[in-house]
Amino acid sequence: MPQLEPKRASESATEMVQVVLPNDANPLGFILGGTVMHLIDIAGAIACHRHTRTLLVTAAVDGLQFLHPIKVGDLIILKARVTAAWSTSLEVEVEVFSEETLTGVRRMTSRAYLTFVSIDREGRRIPIPALVLDTAEERQRAAEADQRRAERLKARKELESRSATD
Ligand SMILES: CC(C)(COP(=O)(O)OP(=O)(O)OC[C@H]1O[C@@H](n2cnc3c(N)ncnc32)[C@H](O)[C@@H]1OP(=O)(O)O)[C@@H](O)C(=O)NCCC(=O)NCCS
């Protein structure tokens, strides 16, 4: 049975840290964009699993930018927090930082928004706990997530109608 008690974002907030190794890098010695995308998906999914305690699928990943390269030997830090929870879907924000191991200099390199949908083993959608919004900042974050959700659903409709005519 799903646990539907409302939860705070702090209960599922997730931080992942790893060192960038040569195997993760392109010939310039910078981490591959695809590797960063993979880590974003994992960090976001962990936070959402902690919120829902159900199986999840990724429904959408919003446009992603890479502001600075992260080089071999640096740390990559991913901070994920749930920003809004609806009936069966939820949004998570994942911020990515680089940290130079020798100086501690930290820079934000990406911010991503992902939507996950809660399902059971048969693929049926299942309800999720609400997100507790205590502070003005949390309410503002959730209101912004509502706007992004509306944009995503519009984009999804457009893609569906375009693929139906192809
Ligand atoms: C995502 C998926 C489960 C949606 O199922 P569906 O039955 O078509 O979706 P519905 O239109 O009934 O919407 C279900 C929920 O998902 C949300 N949703 C669906 N598509 C979405 C999108 N593109 N962006 C944001 N939210 C979306 C809806 O808002 C709704 O949320 P709510 O219950 O909280 O209101 C389905 O499209 C799917 O399985 N996609 C493939 C997922 C996948 O394989 N991901 C990669 C590997 S994990």
Where do the DSSP E strands lie in the chain?
A: 14-19, 55-61, 75-85, 89-99, 106-119
Report how far ligand 1's centroid is from the alpha carbon of 162 (Å). 18
Per the prediction, the chain carries an average pLDDT of 96
Amino acid found at 112: A
Which atom of ligand 1 lies closest to the CA of 85?
Answer: 34
In angstroms, the CA 126 to CA 13 distance is 22
**Residue from 81, 82, 86, 80 nearest 129 by CA:** 86
Pick 163 or 85 by higher pLDDT: 85
Q: Is the pLDDT of residue 163 over 90?
A: no
Q: Which residue has its alpha carbon closest to ligand 1 atom 6?
A: 125
Cβ atoms of 50 and 43 within 8 Å: the answer is: no
Report how far ligand 1's centroid is from the alpha carbon of 117 (Å). 6
Which atom of ligand 1 lies closest to the CA of 149?
Answer: 25
Confidence at 1, pLDDT banded by 50, 70, 90? low
Cβ atoms of 24 and 35 within 8 Å: the answer is: yes
Average pLDDT over residues 118-123: 97
Q: Mind listing the pLDDT tens digit for each residue in 89-102?
A: 999 999 999 999 99
Pocket of ligand 1 (CB under 6 A): 57-60, 86-89, 115, 117, 125, 149, 152-153, 156
Give the neighbor-by-neighbor strand order of the sheet with 89-99: 14-19, 75-85, 89-99, 106-119, 55-61
Confidence at 3, pLDDT banded by 50, 70, 90? confident
pLDDT score for 155: 96
Report how far ligand 1's centroid is from the alpha carbon of 59 (Å). 5
**Neighbouring C-beta atoms of residue 58, cutoff 10 Å:** 13
Cβ atoms of 76 and 36 within 8 Å: the answer is: yes
Pocket test of ligand 1: the residue of 40, 52, 89 to mutate, having most ligand atoms within 8 Å of its CB, is: 89
Q: Mind listing the pLDDT tens digit for each residue in 12-51?
A: 999 999 999 999 999 999 999 999 999 999 999 999 999 9
